[in-house]
Amino acid sequence: MERTLCIIKPDAVRKKVQGHIIQKILDAGFQILGMKMRHLTEAQAKAFYSIHKEKPFYKDLVEFMTSGPVVTIALQKENAIADYRKLIGATDPAKADEGTVRKLYANNVQENAVHGSDSIENGKIEVGFFFSEAELAG
């Protein structure tokens, strides 16, 4: 079993499509181990995206991720990393396949509706960033 962290980002929460996104995740066979709505602090957003700190979009990304509440969801499934990335589509919605979460709900490459972990190792680390083991069911 693999774990991946979903973040439903502020753009999608503002559009009130978090219910649709969660249903798509459940329909694709993912188990929700933990789920919490939060308003990220600047320190949390900076730390979560620290891998991108040298990128030109880092400052804007932190600003965007703290611009409103998000929904953090710890997911589990066999082959979760690849299956979830297929479900959400490419980072840039203009390049995402039809029917993917980002094609349906993202605004642009930054305001791209959802986050997903990019490797098995990062899936564990990112779930642990927001949830303690005791908070995870199943």
The span from the CA of 80 to the CA of 72, in Å, is 16
Residue 39 known to be catalytic: no
Using the rule CB under 6 A, which residue among 110, 120, 122, 124 binds ligand CMP? 110
DSSP conformational letter for 110: S
Six-digit token string for 82: 């690849």
Q: In the bound complex, what is the minimum distance in angstroms from residue 134's beta carbon to ligand CMP?
A: 26
Interface with ligand CMP, residue 122, by CB under 6 A: no
Six-digit token string for 9: 């980002």
List helix spans (H) across 1-138.
10-14, 18-27, 42-48, 58-65, 80-88, 101-105, 120-130
Using the rule CB under 6 A, which residue among 31, 44, 67, 91 binds ligand CMP? 91
Size of the site for ligand CMP (CB under 6 A): 8
- Positions touching ligand CMP (CB under 6 A) are 52, 57, 61, 91, 109-110, 112, 115
